Every structure is written in C-alpha cells, then in structure tokens.
Amino acid sequence: MADISQYTIEDAEILFRNFEGRGTQYNREGERNFNVILPAADKAELEADGWAIGELCDRENPEDCRPKMKVGVRFDVMPPNIVLITNGGQTRTRLTEETIGVLDSIEIKMVDMIVRPYDWTYGDKTGTKAMLKSMYVTALEDELDRKYGMGPVAGESVPHEEDMA
C-alpha cells in the first residue's frame, strides 16, 4: 500500500513514550510505542500513502493542532537500531530490548529517526503502521553527568565512525 519505503525525521519531537511496553489504559501490555510530531508539509503525502496520521490539539486552543504519528517498536521480526548518545556525544550505547525502557525516563535533547511502513489488513480494513527502523537519541545531561561522564544506561558501546576508519 505505501509508496514511501521509509521516512526520516530529524530533530524529532516525541511524545507519549512507552518504550518499556507497560500496560496502561491506552496501551496493551508488551506493546512498545511512542508518538512523533510530523512536519505539517508531510502530512498529506503520508496520508495519501495510507499511513495513520492523527492530530495533537492544544486543550486551551482546540484549533491549534499538529500532525502526529504513532510509531511501533518491535524486536521480534526486524529489530530496530537504537543508539543513545551521552557524555557530550562521546559515548554511544546501542539499546536492546532489555535496556530500551530507559528512554521512557530520560530527558531528551534531540532525536533523529527512520520509520518504515508496515502494511496491515484486518478483515476488510487496511492501513499502514509506522514501525521504528533506526533512532539516535541524544540525552540532555546535567552538569554532574558531564563532570563524571556518566550516561543513564550501561550497555553495548557503539564505536564512532572515526574510530572505525
């Protein structure tokens, strides 16, 4: 259904984070996801390709709405590449299914991501769901984090490109 093979969002604003997959009144247990605010200019093209696009409206000014998309995160079929950047950009940690929950509680400075479409059919209904393919998250660190070079999670370190040359 979708013509867009992947969609890149730089300096993304993400909301309603549930990377841990907690069961809530809005989420089934084990379902990992988040929402991302979209550039208004991309809304029509994504909708035309069948992507599920919603709106986030200001409660005090309901006419002030921004397009948003729910993004699923699954590790069972095509695990996403998720890297947490800390220590002033010096430390890169690849997050796993076991460590991704840390993204629910850290302060985020910047997010760049790529989502891919997942075309679904359920009965006579069809659609395209966004699934996370790749994401780089830069943590917003305080002065003690910077002083001691500590990040919010321990895990597999990812080499910098210049270290790989």
* Structure confidence by residue, pLDDT tens digits, 94-138: 999 999 999 998 899 999 999 999 888 889 888 788 999 999 999
Q: Domain range for residue 38? A: 7-164
Tell me, yes or no, whether 1 lies in a domain: no
Candidates 57, 65, 80; CA nearest to 130 is 80
Tell me, yes or no, whether 47 lies in a domain: yes
Tell me, yes or no, whether 52 lies in a domain: yes
- Phi and psi of 47, rounded to 5°? -65, -40
Q: Which amino acid would we find at residue 115? A: V
CA–CA separation, 41 vs 156, rounded Å?
A: 37
| Structural domains counted in the chain | 1
pTM for this model (two decimals): 0.82
Tell me, yes or no, whether 81 lies in a domain: yes
CA–CA separation, 103 vs 30, rounded Å?
A: 15
In the predicted structure, residue 158 carries a pLDDT above the cut 80 = no
In the predicted structure, residue 67 carries a pLDDT above the cut 60 = yes
Tell me, yes or no, whether 107 lies in a domain: yes
CATH number at residue 19: 2.40.50
Candidates 41, 72, 38, 71; CA nearest to 55 is 38
Tell me, yes or no, whether 2 lies in a domain: no
Tell me, yes or no, whether 79 lies in a domain: yes
